[in-house]
Amino acid sequence: MSANNAYEVRIKRLPGSDNLPLPERMSAAAAGFDLHAANTEPVVLAPGERALVPTGFALAMPVELEAQIRPRSGLAYKHGITTLNSPGTIDADYRGEVKVLLINHGQEAFTVLRGERIAQMVFQLVPSVRLAEVDELDDTSRGSGGFGHTGLAASGQSQ
């Protein structure tokens, strides 16, 4: 953390993206930085189609962080445009261009124009974890029940 209590994430504009805004928070306490599309030509997504849209930047963040690429609800609600691999994962050691995998779940074709805010990037802490292999796991009341298991005994129907 830096002096003002913020993690410093380095961001580098890639060639050709000088005139694009960097990712930006649209309100003071927004969780996400909106990402601008860096495609030079319009990208047309027919219903059901997907495309990897460039953003024009690369990152170097502290190892304890990841960045998640999440959909914008407005695009999802109005046009059925979302991120296919939601949330996308940007690893701390990734130095390539951040890209957004969009899919059109709507009924109409959608055109992605350069500069448009297509998704948002949320930074998250990733705890340091080490897997320890064992022969037996401790018991719990849930045990191996899952996938709608709770409530089955009472109603005969999962919820």
Ligand X SMILES: O=c1ccn([C@H]2C[C@H](O)[C@@H](COP(=O)(O)OP(=O)(O)OP(=O)(O)O)O2)c(=O)[nH]1
91 known member of a binding site: yes
Stretch of residues binding ligand X (CB under 6 A), selected from 85-93, 107-115, 121-129, 140-148: 85-93
Nearer to ligand X, 45 or 69 (CB): 69
CB of 32 to ligand X, least distance (A): 14
Q: Are strands 117-125 and 99-104 parallel, antiparallel or unpaired?
A: unpaired
Helices (H), the chain: 73-79, 152-155
Of these, 35, 53, 61, 98, which contacts ligand X (CB under 6 A)?
98
Q: What residues have CB less than 8 Å from 80, skipping those under 6 apart?
A: 47, 104, 105, 106, 107, 110
CB of 41 to ligand X, least distance (A): 20
- The Cα–Cα gap between 157 and 159 comes to 7
SS3 75: helix
Structure tokens at 131: 């897997």
| 61 contacts ligand X (rule: CB under 6 A) | no
Q: Contacts with ligand X in 105-144 (CB under 6 A)?
A: none
Q: CA angle at residue 82 from 113 to 94, to 5 degrees?
A: 80
Are residues 9 and 59 in contact, defined by beta-carbon separation less than 8 angstroms?
yes
Of these, 40, 73, 85, 124, which contacts ligand X (CB under 6 A)?
85
85 known member of a binding site: yes
Of these, 69, 75, 81, 102, which contacts ligand X (CB under 6 A)?
69
CB of 104 to ligand X, least distance (A): 16
Are residues 29 and 60 in contact, defined by beta-carbon separation less than 8 angstroms?
no
User: Which positions lie near ligand X, rule CB under 6 A?
Assistant: 69, 85, 88-91, 94, 98-99, 101
Binding residues for substrate: 72-74, 85, 89-91
